[in-house]
Amino acid sequence: MLRVLKFGAGLLVGALVLARFGLLGDAAALAMAGAPERHMSADNPWSKDYVAVASPATRSSYYPNCAAAWRAGAAPIEEGEPGYRFELDGDGDGIACEPYHGR
């Protein structure tokens, strides 16, 4: 019973201090507001929607053949991208190591 009285007295003193400094309304509003909303996006590593993508700077800029480019996840490689070489562009259209779908 004594614990309950001490707790109640502590709440009363806390409320009086907040009221004295004009903060009672702010404290009540904060208590009713709940937890703040967290803003997560796909580029935030702590988000559940985050997808790690290798940047062009981390990938090798030289692939000896298209099989190596496909294994690295870099193919197809467009002209101007790291790893593009004319030797890997069989039809000369500016896209190296593109998939062949036949005719």
Which residue is listed with tokens 């290798």?
Answer: 54
Neighbouring-strand partners of residue 78: 95
- d(C-alpha 34, C-alpha 72), whole Å: 46
**Residue 89 in this model has a pLDDT that exceeds 90:** yes
- d(C-alpha 94, C-alpha 47), whole Å: 37
> How many degrees, rounded to 5, is the angle at CA 15 between CA 11 and CA 19?
175
Give the pTM.
0.41
- Tell me the pLDDT tens digit for each residue of 24-75: 666 666 666 665 565 666 666 676 666 666 655 445 588 999 999 999 888 9
Per-residue pLDDT band for 97 (boundaries 50, 70, 90) equals very high
Task: Note the Cα 63 to chain centre separation in Å.
Answer: 30
Amino acid of residue 25: G
